[in-house]
Amino acid sequence: MNAETSTPLCFKLRPEERARLREAAAQRRIGPSTFAAEAVRHALGTVRQRPLPRRLDDIAEAVRAATGQLGRLGNNLSQLAHASNCVASIDPHALAAIHADLAAIDARLATALAAP
């Protein structure tokens, strides 16, 4: 926030109004504060100077899912490393499956980060 051009504004809502505000904001995929600011701008006939901020929900979910998958893949790699220390070769199908999983994780994260 630029201190010269923007200042915080606080106001009270009844619980049911706050719930409706959250629902309406979620439908537009923005936060409740951004939704309220946009409503005020609309009522005043002014326009936002910058693009709407992007909710982190999609990114956070993609990172959460990728973290879990990477943990499981790390476990698989550890087992493969242990096996390779015991025998001379590693199953190429196991390595191909890990490679495919990593490619899928990368694609999901790229999609989440590129979404508007």
70-100 pLDDT, tens digit each: 888 888 888 877 877 787 677 788 788 888 8
Distance CA 10, CA 16 (A): 17
Q: Which residues of the chain have pLDDT under 70?
A: 1-4, 54-56, 88, 115-116
Distance CA 27, CA 85 (A): 53
**Per-residue model confidence (pLDDT) at position 54:** 66
pTM attached to this predicted model? 0.45
**How far is the CA of 50 from the CAs of 24, 34, 38, in angstroms?**
21, 12, 12
CB 55 within 8 A of CB 30: yes
Terminal Cα distance for the chain, rounded = 21
- Residue at token pair 């901020």: 53
- Candidates 86, 65, 64, 83; CA nearest to 75 is 83
3-class secondary structure, 75: helix
